[in-house]
């Protein structure tokens, strides 16, 4: 009899444990949240430095597939943020976020390089209208009328180059409603309008010890961003992307997050702080500071933006 009671008690305790686990999983999915996708650990340091993120007291984070998803609020808005890393990792991490939480929309922020010195200075924040994968190439033996001809970059004289040329391909966007091929992936029009109206008076920082930028950082709306598997630091290629494709920034994350969001039917928006100029270069001794300023300013725009959106009735559910 005693053994039977012990077995029954063990089963009861196990059932309570499983119910608690189920309840926890349900609670993580019961309330719609804003998904905040950070590019690098530097972006997380900027968020932590601001002290705007308030972790959930009962469960501040969840580890899934090697990623840590932080649960909490920013200015009263329920959020889950994750450091996505770069390249394909950004797409995978965004998909894991969407699979495990009831996400209303995706906000991604981080730093980028400028290939548009007429419009952008170090520390500025860009709200992109669209982003593209600019490393989806068809590599050809000869020249291309509307692509990148390597012979055009021979030095000192242009001519034939055995590398031939490349043309830029569209990416296929799969969604529940349709399948289509796009080159430029558009951010959500409602999100863009909200940023355009609500962030115009936002003030940014220009200093990170021991330097201060000579310019006052500003918000720049409507530009296009280039994403690829390689970070672009080559001035000639940066000029080509700007002159021929109309891109103004380069990074390794934005298009991956955009494609994943579009495929899942989720609205998204991209904020990129300018950390360096591909065409002019950046002094190596100040690169760490300028990168932090860029990350911090992008964070300011992203965190302010999420407060501009209508909030669900249960938006305070994770508040302490």
Section 12-33 average pLDDT: 45
pLDDT value, residue 146: 81
* 118, pLDDT greater than 60: yes
Q: How far, in Å, are 26, 95, 110, 132, 142 from residue 107 at the CA level?
A: 23, 14, 10, 17, 41
* 127, pLDDT greater than 50: yes
pLDDT value, residue 1: 43
Q: By three-state DSSP, how is residue 163 classified?
A: coil
Section 65-76 average pLDDT: 97
pTM (two decimals): 0.87
Confidence of residue 87 (pLDDT cuts 50, 70, 90): confident
The continuous run of DSSP H or E covering 71 comes out as: strand 67-74
34-306 maps to which CATH number?
Answer: 3.40.50.1580
Quote the CA–CA distance of 163 and 280 in Å, as a whole number: 27
Q: By three-state DSSP, how is residue 244 classified?
A: helix
Quote the CA–CA distance of 134 and 236 in Å, as a whole number: 15
Q: Write down the mean pLDDT value for the chain.
A: 89
274-283 pLDDT tens trace: 999 998 876 6
Confidence of residue 10 (pLDDT cuts 50, 70, 90): very low
* 32, pLDDT greater than 70: yes
pLDDT value, residue 313: 56
For the chain, percent of residues with pLDDT exceeding 70: 87
pLDDT value, residue 2: 39
Q: Which tokens sit at 301?
A: 């725009």
Give, as one character, the DSSP assignment of residue 5: H
Quote the CA–CA distance of 17 and 77 in Å, as a whole number: 30
* 14, pLDDT greater than 60: no
pLDDT value, residue 123: 97
The continuous run of DSSP H or E covering 43 comes out as: helix 41-50
């Amino acid at each position: 009899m005693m053994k039977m009671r012990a077995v029954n008690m063990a089963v009861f305790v196990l059932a309570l444990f499983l119910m608690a686990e189920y309840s926890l999983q349900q609670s993580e999915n019961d309330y719609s949240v804003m998904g905040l996708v950070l590019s690098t650990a530097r972006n997380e340091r900027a968020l932590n430095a601001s002290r705007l993120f308030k972790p959930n007291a009962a469960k501040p984070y969840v580890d899934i597939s090697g990623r840590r998803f932080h649960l909490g609020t920013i200015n009263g808005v329920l959020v889950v943020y994750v450091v996505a890393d770069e390249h394909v990792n950004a797409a995978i991490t965004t998909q894991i976020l969407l699979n495990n939480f009831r996400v209303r929309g995706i906000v991604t922020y981080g730093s980028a390089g400028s290939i548009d010195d007429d419009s952008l200075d170090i520390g500025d924040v860009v709200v992109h209208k669209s982003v593209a994968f600019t490393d989806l190439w068809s590599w050809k033996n000869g020249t291309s009328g509307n692509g990148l001809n390597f012979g055009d970059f021979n030095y000192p004289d242009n001519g034939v180059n055995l590398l031939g040329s490349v043309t830029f391909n569209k990416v296929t966007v799969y969604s529940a409603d349709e399948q289509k091929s796009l080159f430029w992936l558009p951010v959500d029009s409602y999100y863009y309008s909200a940023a355009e109206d609500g962030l115009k008076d936002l003030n940014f920082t220009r200093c990170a010890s021991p330097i201060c930028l000579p310019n006052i950082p500003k918000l720049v709306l409507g530009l296009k961003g280039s994403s690829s598997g390689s970070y672009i630091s080559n001035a000639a290629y940066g000029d080509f992307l700007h002159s021929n494709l109309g891109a103004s920034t380069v990074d390794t994350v934005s298009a991956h997050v955009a494609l994943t969001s579009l495929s899942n039917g989720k609205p998204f928006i991209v904020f990129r702080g300018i950390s360096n100029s591909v065409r002019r270069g950046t002094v190596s001794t100040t690169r760490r500071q300028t990168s932090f300023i860029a990350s911090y300013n992008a964070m300011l725009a992203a965190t302010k933006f999420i407060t501009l959106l209508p909030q669900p009735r249960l938006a305070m559910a994770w508040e302490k």
